[in-house]
Amino acid sequence: MMQAVRLNGVNDLVVASVAEPIPAADEVVVRLRAAALNHRDVWIKSGQYAGLKWPAVPGSDGAGVVEATGPAVNSDWLGRDVIVNPSFGWGADERAQGRDFSILGLPRDGTLAEKIAVPVSQVAAKPSHLSWEESAALPLAGLTAWRALFSRAQLRAGERVLVSGIGGGVALFALQFALAAGAEVWVTSSAPEKIARAVAMGAKGGFDYRTAGWAADALKVTGGFDVIVDSAGGAGFEQLIDAAATGGRIVFFGATRGNPPVLPMRKVFWRQLTLLGTTMGSPADWAAMVDFVAKHQVKPVVSATFPIAQAGDAFALMERGEQFGKIVVTMAG
């Protein structure tokens, strides 16, 4: 038996003893050293996610050591330090995922457990410059930020970028990746201290998205943004349209604040704006992201770390939105 975070129903989270995974022919069993939360896990816990099933072991991010191999997997994998790609079954089309696409941690049991079985094609070598906690923080958010900025928005060096809600896990990777790619990066946040931390990391400056008229100020100060990365949506989305430079691209992968109540179409077409949706990433995006992180020695920002026995506190922190970066859960041993 092993320890795992188990959701027995809506907001019914326990740390329980569950059966250990047995690898299928093409799978490896990874003894996880650390896992990380994504907002998806909070949506699942609160019953606000498609395809819910109970009980469920959530968690899309993990890093650990290969402990067992299925019969079709080369035993050279045993003992290797790996990270897990949570984007399963993307398919052959780079433009979008196919019908078999799924995300680790629902419907399949996830990484908030001492062990996980995954196809060997889903693991990659752990980046050697990262700790276990930093490695576990990387996969889902790094992949999403990578595809948003580079595969979808086609970010180029020298462009001006705005990343909204900089406390978020994906948002911080977007900041780090865009800086490493030679962009000028600005941020928004509800917390002045999070803006200050982003500036200390290399952002040019920031705006409080709760202040009425912040977008007009941003336009005045910066001249507008070539690329805007958002996952909040909601009523604030119109301000992002206002803050875009002529010909700008707004790329989004979440709707934490729901749908925008209006879409000001005239502003979008007259100013030649492009609205881009994105989700997770393909195997090619994954490989490129892992290479980029190694080349630029990007270090994920870990906001807080909890032992698995206190996983409920990790969820509560994300529910309060107080984090700056990723929330990590560590396993004993």
Ligand X SMILES: NC(=O)c1ccc[n+]([C@@H]2O[C@H](COP(=O)([O-])OP(=O)(O)OC[C@H]3O[C@@H](n4cnc5c(N)ncnc54)[C@H](OP(=O)(O)O)[C@@H]3O)[C@@H](O)[C@H]2O)c1
Q: Which of 301, 318, 329, 331 is close enough to bind ligand X by CB under 6 A?
A: 318
* Phi then psi dihedrals of residue 69, to 5 deg: -130, 145
In the numeric block, which tokens belong to residue 76? 């050279």
Q: What is the CA radius of gyration of the chain?
A: 20
Among residues 308, 258, 221, the alpha carbon closest in space to that of 35 is found at 308
Instruction: Pick the binder of ligand X from 70, 205, 234, 283 (CB under 6 A).
Output: 234
Please give the structure tokens belonging to residue 315.
Answer: 């969820």
Instruction: Give strand pairing partners of 69.
Output: 28
Q: Which helix (H) or strand (E) holds 109?
A: none
Q: In the complex, what is the shortest distance from the CB of residue 283 to ligand X, in angstroms, rounded to a whole number?
A: 15
The residue (of 28 and 215) whose beta carbon lies closer to ligand X is: 215
Residue 265 CB, nearest distance to ligand X (Å)?
22
Would you say 73 or 290 has its CB closer to ligand X? Answer: 290
**Residue 257 found at the interface with ligand X (CB under 6 A):** yes
Shortest distance, CB of residue 280 to ligand X, whole angstroms? 4
Handedness of CA 187, 188, 194, 199 (dihedral sign): positive
Q: Does 167 bind ligand X (CB under 6 A)?
A: yes
Residue 155 or 166: the one with the smaller Cβ distance to ligand X is 166
Asked whether position 118 contacts ligand X by CB under 6 A, the answer is: no
The HSE-up count of residue 228 (CA atoms within 13 Å, CB side) is 30
189 binds ligand X (CB under 6 A): yes
- State both tokens at 127: 């980046």
Binding part of the chain for ligand X, among 4-12, 33-41, 65-73, 212-220 by CB under 6 A, reads 33-41
Per the structure block, which two tokens stand in for 191? 């917390």
Interaction site with ligand X (CB under 6 A) = 38-40, 43, 141, 144, 164-171, 188-191, 194, 209, 231-232, 234, 236, 253-254, 256-257, 279-280, 318, 321, 323
